[in-house]
Chains A and B, each alone.
Chain A
């Protein structure tokens, strides 16, 4: 596979469930990002990882827990979510961190919280 892949593409979960989103990039990048896209709102940056280290947490509630075991993989662990957390979750990667180069986005995971 090439580019940035995300699994699953669609996820429906109850408020008491625990689930994880997975992102994998095949571009040799060292920075990875999680974004949230809610209806009628701009994309919101959630987390930034650079060389596996978290460099940005944009005041995200603790019910979202990121994990970056290596520069190619990024996870978002979800637990006790709220219905307002329903959104499209996008993963991205880039080569130099700091916004100097474009970010490459995955197709997203459409999350619905019941």
Chain B
């Protein structure tokens, strides 16, 4: 059974810092690994999707890596801004379980001006 864990649960950093959010998963048989952002009381916004054959994906100041052998993914945020404050969720869809995304509990990020 796939389990997804995110560390830390919460993180507070000053503006401008580079930071790393961690995600680990127990079953490496995944289609891909996805990172989402959720603002308070809102839905989820897809940030990056890394296919199982890829090692990383980049979008602007965000870079996500995937290491299936160790069951880990990281989300790197460069030059953080107060607007980056949100909860970041990673999710993995297991093989042969169509459409079923297994989510971590999220990391709540606060970037202080």
Contacts and interface: CB of A to CB of B under 8 A. Distances in A.
Contacts of B104: 42
B45 interface: yes
A103 B46 CA distance: 8
Contact of A56 (B41, B46, B91, B98): B98
Interface string B82-113: 00000001010110011111111110000000
A6 B106 CA distance: 23
Contacts of A50: 98-99
A55 interface: yes
Contacts of B93: 98-100
Given A98-B31, A99-B31, A99-B93, A107 B42 contact: yes
Given A41-B105, A43-B89, A98-B93, A104 B99 contact: no
Nearest to A43: B103
A45 interface: yes
A55 B98 contact: yes
Given A55-B99, A88-B41, A100 B89 contact: no
B100 A48 contact: yes
Interface string A89-112: 010101001111111111110100
A100 B31 contact: yes
Give the interface size bracket for B toward A. 20 to 34
Contact of B100 (A40, A99, A101): A99
Contacts of B103: 42-43
Of A4, A43, A104, the most chain B CB neighbours within 10 A belong to A43
A48 B99 contact: yes
Contacts of A92: 44
Interface in B36-58: 36, 41-46, 49
B4 interface: yes
Nearest to B30: A99
A45 B46 CA distance: 17
Of B31, B45, B89, B100, the most chain A CB neighbours within 10 A belong to B100
The 9 A-B residue pairs with the shortest CB-CB distance, nearest first, are A99-B93, A105-B43, A98-B98, A105-B44, A43-B103, A102-B46, A42-B103, A48-B99, A107-B43
